[in-house]
Chain A
Amino acid sequence: AQTVTQSQPEMSVQEAETVTLSCTYDTSENNYYLFWYKQPPSRQMILVIRQEAYKQQNATENRFSVNFQKAAKSFSLKISDSQLGDTAMYFCAFIPNNNDMRFGAGTRLTVKP
């Protein structure tokens, strides 16, 4: 089965601190794409960061970076200098082929002032 597991249903972090959200996935594919999406309360889902599995270098987007461990099938998201606006549900997702995207159950992140 091609699945995504997010083992942390909820997390909290103090403003300006760093937090890491975990994600593992299961696939027999060698080439695939990984994503982190953010869903703020009552707002649309937006892409935070993406990673191509064939690239060894970890992707970064400003305060957001990933730790991609292909052998371990792990794809964690690190948020540095957390801001109140980072409060949201975060979904890890991957595309094991060219078609459908598989999502994890999500991690609810709360940034505390």
Chain B
Amino acid sequence: DTGVSQDPRHKITKRGQNVTFRCDPISEHNRLYWYRQTLGQGPEFLTYFQNEAQLEKSRLLSDRFSAERPKGSFSTLEIQRTEQGDSAMYLCASSKTTGRDEQYFGPGTRLTVT
């Protein structure tokens, strides 16, 4: 068990481009979460999956954001037509079964939109 991994670790893109991030959770974990963290702030919830089903999305997740977890294993987060305000650290976390289980966080993907 190598923990939660995220790829890439850093991404620099120009405004208007699309970007996609990947998260590989701990293998036996059913729940997978995406958060966004801006400098000096705590993580903000974006969305979560129970296996392959996306069960909740935050109002922060605009129409330009989409997340998938097609086989209930890894997940992708895509941002279309990126804006400078999308610059942030995108964190992925996984937990065993319920929301009350400990969440294990990945190292994050730092996105910079120029």
Co-complex (A, B): yes
Number of residues on chain B facing chain A (CB within 8 A): 25
Please pick, from B41, B91, B106, the residue contacting A105 in the complex, using a CB distance under 8 A. B41
Is the pair A101, B98 in contact by a Cβ cutoff of 8 Å? no
Query: Which residues on B sit within 8 Å (CB–CB) of A95?
Result: 99-100
B65 at the A interface (CB under 8 A): no
Contact size class for A?
20 to 34
Number of A-B contacts (CB under 8 A): 56
Query: Could you tell me the distance between the alpha carbons of A105 and B37 in the complex, rounded to whole angstroms?
Result: 10
Residues of A near B42 (CB, < 8 A) are 4, 91, 93, 103-106
Residue A45 at the chain B interface, CB threshold 8 Å: yes
2-30 of chain A: CB within 8 A of chain B: 4
A52 vs B102: C-alpha distance when bound (angstroms): 12
| B85 part of interface (Cβ distance < 8 Å) | no
Contact present for B105 and A101 (CB under 8 Å): no
Chain A residues near B108 (CB-CB < 8 A): 44
Determine whether A64 belongs to the interface, using a CB cutoff of 8 Å to chain B: no
Q: Which of B48, B98, B102 contacts A47 (CB 8 A)?
A: B102
The 7 A-B pairs at the shortest CB distance, nearest first, are namely A103-B42, A100-B45, A45-B105, A98-B99, A33-B100, A91-B42, A103-B43
Told that A91-B43, A100-B33, A100-B99 touch, could you supply 13 new A-B pairs with CB distance under 8 A?
A33-B100, A44-B3, A45-B91, A47-B103, A95-B99, A98-B99, A98-B100, A99-B55, A101-B43, A101-B45, A105-B42, A106-B41, A106-B42
Interface residues of B (CB under 8 A from A): 3-4, 33, 40-45, 48, 55-56, 58, 91, 93, 98-100, 102-108
